[in-house]
Amino acid sequence: MTTSGISIGTPTPARAALVLDDARLCACAQFHRRDRMEGLIRASGGAPAPMTSPSASTLDLRILRLLIEGPRATVFVPVPGGEFMLGSPQRADEQPLRRVRVRAFEAALTPVTNAEYAHFLDASGHEVPKFWTDPRFNAPECPVVGISWFEAMDYCVWLSDLLGRGVRLPTEAEREWAACGGANTRYPWGDEPWTEGVHGLGSAGGDRPHPIGTTPPNGYGLYHMADNVHEWCSDWYSPTAYAAFEGDVVDGPRYDEETLRRASRGGSWRHHVKVSRVAARSSLAPDFHYNDYGFRVYADPLPGASA
């Protein structure tokens, strides 16, 4: 299925209706400044035009044209609350295993794409990702990369204002629970490790991220929970975080004054093994910009939604 020119795979009929309804609603929010963007394209003469925002970087012409066409909806998928064993015996920073409960929340269908991020830039004047000068990293339908933790947080604030609801990064526990897709397995698709050509992955990514919807979704209908790009979490990273857990309900990010790194989850196109176990942890300094780091947005359920 395609919405606003972007493939999101083949959802169920119910999910297809969700996508189309959300797209129609979002199409009404013409928050981008049409005249300015058309002027940029005319001035470019068919080449990338300079931004008129404080940034001196340039936007790829394809992304400028996508801004003219209108915004792509952010599709949220409901994830029920539940109880599960957080962690794994495989690595030291995934231990000890802790039984935790997460409340119901919603997760975006895919990581934030270049097309979606372009609308944020147009509205906010934030710095254009430095990797957009490389054609491997500026395709509208691919995840945006090179985004710092702070920039991801700014995007969440902007989208919260736009949608009139709280949008945020996930806790590590929420991200792990969402990646499981309702199953108690090592990977979103089961317990068997990834091998070449399995699950539609092959050598997916190669030397760049791959378009959204090119690998199968998990049990909740979420795409790329184990592949494509690392995704920022709200938590500070600590290798001993699980030992310090208090209680069994995870209601917010975990803070560790001993570290400046922020947690992340998910696989990476850049790694030799391009997929990640649902319990695998990673981290990075919050002001770093890596070409395999992106993010996905989450939200609490709307009032009246079933838990």
Q: Which residues pair with 65 in a beta bridge?
A: none
Q: How far apart (Å, rounded) are the C-alpha atoms in residues 286 and 68? A: 32
Residue 29 lies in a domain: no
CATH number at residue 283: 3.90.1580.10
Mean pLDDT of the chain: 77
248-279 pLDDT, tens digit per residue, is: 666 656 666 667 899 999 998 887 677 889 99
Any domain includes 2: no
Q: Is 248 among the domain residues?
A: yes
Cβ count near 166 (within 10 Å): 12
67 inside domain:
no
Is the residue at 57 inside a domain?
A: no
Q: What residue spans of the chain are helical by DSSP H?
A: 13-27, 34-44, 61-69, 114-124, 149-163, 172-180
Q: Is 92 in a helix, a strand, or coil?
A: helix
Per-residue pLDDT tens over the stretch 8-39? 344 444 333 333 333 333 333 333 333 433 33
User: Residue 167 pLDDT > 80, yes or no?
Assistant: yes
Cβ 188 vs Cβ 181: under 8 Å: yes
**Range of 116's domain?**
77-299
Six-digit token string for 146: 């090179």
Residue 129 lies in a domain: yes
Residues 6+ apart with CB under 8 A from 91: 280, 281
**Quick one: which of 4, 14, 127 has its CA closest to 69?**
4
* 47 part of a folded domain: no
Query: Considering its fold, how many domains does the chain have in total?
Result: 1
Does the pLDDT at position 75 exceed 70?
yes
pLDDT at 63: 55
User: Is 200 a member of any domain?
Assistant: yes
Which amino acid type is present at position 207? D
Q: What are phi and psi of 181, to 5 degrees?
A: 65, 30
Distances (CA, A) of 305 to 79, 83, 221, 302: 11, 19, 18, 6
